[in-house]
Every structure is written in C-alpha cells, then in structure tokens.
Chains A and B, each alone.
Chain A
Amino acid sequence: MFALEFMKIAFVASGVVSIIVGLIGYFLLIRREAFAGHALSHIGFAGATGASLIGLPPFLGLIIFNVMAGIWMGQIGAKLKDRDIAIGLILSASLGLGLLFLHFYTHYATQISSLLFGNVFGVTYSTLYWLIFLTCCCCLAMGFLMRPLLFVSLQPDLAQAQGISVRLVSTIFLMIVALVTAACVQITGILLVFSLMVGPAAVALRISKTIWAGIGLSILLALSESWGGLWLSWLMDWPVSFWISLLSIGIYGLTLVFGKHLRSLRIQDCYHT
C-alpha cells in the first residue's frame, strides 16, 4: 500500500490534520460550539467556489472566507440561542452564494466534488506542506491560548471576574477553528468535516474524566478514523470520506452502548487536569 506515492502523502496529510482536528474538536465540544464548527466548513464553500471563479486556488478562498466567518462568530457574543440563529442564516446565505458561483463556474466539476466530499488521494506535495505549516501554526496558537480558553469555556463569569476578555479568547479560538476546518476539508470534504472534527471529540468527552485524557483520546480516535478510512478505502475501493464518517458514527454508537463500562476504566492521566 505504501509503495504508492499518493498513498504515502494521503497518510501523512490525514495524520497531520487529525492531530489538530482532534485537539480543536475537544474544545469545540466543551464550548458547545459544534454547530459553529460545522457551519464554518459550509461557509468556506462560497469562498472556495468564488476563488475558483476568479482563477485563484480554492484552498485560499476557503481560508479567507472561513477566517472572516470565524472572526464574525466570535464577535456575536455568548448568547448561544441567538448565535445559532445568526450562524444558521449566514450558513444558508453562504451556500446560496456558493451555488451562484457554481452557476457561473461551469468547468472542473471534479474540483467541486473534491471540495464537497474530499479527495485525500489527490493531495499534492505543495498542499501537504501547506497542511503541515497550517497545523504547526494552529498547534502553536493553541499552546498559547489553551489555558485561558479552558477557563473561559468552563467558567466564563469567573474568568471575566479575573479580567479575561471572553470575547477576545472566543474570537481567536474561532479563527483557529476556521483554519483547521480549511485543512480538514482537504481530507473529508466540506460536507463531512463534522464527522472527523466532532465524532472523536464526542467520544472522548463521554469517556474521559480529565482534560488531558480527553484531548489525547480525541486525537487518537481522529487518527484512527482517518487512517482506518484510508486503509478501508484501499481494501474496498470505496470513498475515504464515507469510511471516515462510518467509523466516526460507529465508534460514537459503541460509546453510547458501552459508555458506562468504558467510563469505569477511569481513563485518566498523570496530570489530573
């Protein structure tokens, strides 16, 4: 399997992306912002198709639209109910805009299909370097932001009382999510980002009793699902994104059924955080 160049690149690309997606997904769920993560990938669709229309790389358009949407979502504020309505409306408007761009952009239907459903076997070396660079930047940013982000996510009022700007932390985090979503689109496609970003983190959140165990498990599951998807795709010649989404829901379903037994394993770590 690894004799083929595109397979090697696919494994490295999905491995790199899974690390940051597992980390970000855990925080998204702690903050109850799964819908924001889902919406960001769809909002990027308009950016990607718009960029294609004017002759720019779709990945660039995706990143620009995603980051702009991330900043906007961070600025809306904390009222989740109002936020979901606003995010939903922007999501629909972006898909509508994407459709309009597609109406004018009549070439390269395969490129659009790759955007929507992913094409990890089509990742080139230059895209791989971009993914590695993006992942490194996001990991570094999370290294700085993680402590206040955790505090703000679990105790926003207490954090505010200690002088932390909840809005600023939220905005920076959503900008990172926007970049990670853009990277994840290369593996799963726009429509299936949710399965890799939220599925592993949801399982980790249900089972783990400490923050570090949760983050570790989320990353491990994201890696297993993306590599498992690649391997199954190699065996069966079915799309990778299909296998990733199937593994994601399968593992989540197993956790729902056997959650109590798994929790009793007391998955913890030496830091007790």
Chain B
Amino acid sequence: MNAVSCKELQIRIGSKIIFDRLDFSIKEGQFVGVFGPNGAGKTTFFKCLFGNIPYSHGKLEVLGQSPIKIRGKIGYVPQQRDIFPLNLTGRAFIATAIRGNRLGIPFLFREDQKEIDRVLALVDAKDLAQQPLTELSGGQRQRLLLAQALLGKPNILILDEPLNNIDPKWTQHILNLIKHIQSQQKLTVFLSTHDLNPLVNIIDQVLCLGNKTAILGKAKEVITSEILTDLYQTPMQVIKAENRIFVTSFT
C-alpha cells in the first residue's frame, strides 16, 4: 500500500498557492528525506498530511484514506520549540501526550506506564526518564520528543527539521536511532532538513519541495544543479564526492 499518494494536488493558504499539481506516490516503509529552501512549504505539506491544512484541489490519500481519518496513525515531531523551561522529568513530559485528545483527568494506568517504558526503550532514553527537562541537552530532548511521537505505535513518523541546532555527533546518533526504529517498526519516515549530507546513506528517497512543486526520487538522481536551481529559483551547484553531496549557492 502507498503511505502517501498525491494526484493533481493543490495546497493553498488563503489565496496563496503553496503547491500546485503535485503527483507522486510513496510506498509504505520508506525513509524519505524532505529537502527544500526556507518557506518552500515543508511544514505546510506535513500539516496537510495529517489533515490540519485542507488541500484545495486534487486528491491526497494517506495510508489509502483521507488524512483526517488516519490522524492517530501519524507520529509527529514538530520543529524545535521553546517548550522546556519546566522542571518536569522526561517521563512526566512524555506522559502528557497519552490519550491527550480525550477529555478527562490525566491519570495513568499500568498499560500507559508500559507504553512509556516501551517508547523510552525504543529511543534508548531510559536513563532520561527521571531527569528534569531543564538539565537535558538538545540531543537528549530530541530523543524524548521522538519517544513521545512513537506513543500509540504510529505507521508514519514525521520529523520536522529535528536536526536543527544539534551538533554533528548527536545528529549522527539521532539519525542512526531513527533508522533503527524505522527498520524495526517498519515505519514510513518523513524527515525534513536543510543539510542532506548526514542523510544520504540512510534515506531511500528524497522529496524536494520548492517553487510550488515537488520532485521525488533517489538522492543521486534528484539532487542535481539543474533541479535545485529550478526549485530554489537561484543558481545552485551540486558537488558529489565519496557518497557526499555538497550543495552551494552562487549568490
């Protein structure tokens, strides 16, 4: 089954067209790197996938259904926010998302505790469970956010620029972790980034967004000077060497 399928898809915000005539399909179990300039609409595209932004024309199916119907099957790590001035422990923070979409008092049952243990083990963060958020590094916080997104065993995991402000060592650690979880849980992963280099050997496909369009394919096929120049609307040069891709701008 396709994880995501777009046909003649148009997405608008107000009168502004963000994407026009998107036509592509992504099979389940793929690791997709989402790449594109600032303001290209990466977050908008993600929000459309879980039905927060309605599309204006065409057809969009996620896991074979309308986006609104599969909300519980998508795990989401939003762009890094200033959400950690609290003294809460990692475990308490993760717990706030359990059945968060239902009314009631946030008591936890034994199965909820087990679910928290499961996601903490998945992201190798059992040692962070009792530590206050204020004492954690950016990479450690990112692991907790990832754990929270994995609650309820989603089929699709969307990570919106999770590598921002994280040093190269932690970047590689987090990417390896995501790849491991993706293979183990057979997840479809969308990870947006401005730097494709750390992802080149991990991702199955690249989805390049920009200039109201999207191009999907293998990294080596899609990341070319011609395609990026077209997407960025500015002269770009791509240099490929030893499994690395360097993207530079002439301006």
Contacts and interface: CB of A to CB of B under 8 A. Distances in A.
Interface string B57-86: 000000000001001101011110101001
Contacts of A272: 89, 91-92, 95, 108, 113
A161 B91 contact: no
A148 to B, nearest CB: 6
A273 B108 contact: yes
Nearest to A154: B96
Of B87, B95, B99, the most chain A CB neighbours within 10 A belong to: B87
A214 B86 CA distance: 11
B241 interface: no
Interface string B135-154: 00000000000001100000
A210 B91 CA distance: 9
B50 interface: yes
B87 A161 contact: no
Contact of B88 (A147, A158, A162, A210): A210
Interface in A206-223: 206-211, 214
A263 interface: yes
B100 interface: yes
Report whether over half of chain B's contact residues are helix, strand or loop; otherwise say mixed: loop
Contact of B104 (A144, A152, A159): A144
B107 to A, nearest CB: 6
A75 interface: no
Interface residues on B, range: 35 or more
B97 interface: yes
A263 B88 CA distance: 11
Nearest to A153: B96
Interface string B155-170: 0001000000000000
A273 B108 CA distance: 7
A147 B87 contact: no
A163 B92 contact: no
B103 A155 contact: no
A151 interface: yes
Report whether over half of chain A's contact residues are helix, strand or loop; otherwise say mixed: helix
Contacts of B51: 163
A273 to B, nearest CB: 5
A148 B100 contact: yes
Of B50, B93, B96, B108, the most chain A CB neighbours within 10 A belong to: B96
B102 interface: yes
Interface residues of A, number: 33
B251 to A, nearest CB: 31
A249 interface: no
A158 B100 CA distance: 10
Contacts of B87: 205-209, 263
Contact of B92 (A147, A148, A273): A273
A209 B113 CA distance: 17
Contacts of A191: none
Nearest to B113: A272
A155 B106 contact: no
Contacts of B68: 163
B14 to A, nearest CB: 15
A209 B88 contact: yes
Contacts of A143: 104-105
A30 interface: yes
B183 interface: no
Contacts of B78: 155, 157-158, 161
Interface string A158-197: 1111111000000000000000000000000000000000
Given A154-B93, A272-B92, A164 B100 contact: yes
A57 to B, nearest CB: 33
B52 A160 contact: yes
Contacts of B74: 161
Given A148-B103, A162-B71, A157 B88 contact: no
A154 B83 contact: yes
B101 interface: yes
B132 A209 contact: yes
B100 A150 contact: yes
Contacts of A112: none
A145 B96 contact: no
13 contacts: A147-B105, A155-B96, A155-B100, A158-B78, A160-B52, A161-B50, A161-B76, A209-B89, A211-B88, A211-B106, A272-B91, A273-B107, A273-B108
Interface of B: 47, 50-52, 68, 71-72, 74, 76-79, 81, 83, 86-89, 91-93, 95-97, 99-108, 113, 130, 132, 148-149, 158
Given A147-B103, A272-B95, 11 more contacts: A30-B86, A147-B105, A150-B106, A155-B148, A157-B78, A160-B52, A164-B100, A209-B92, A211-B95, A271-B108, A272-B89
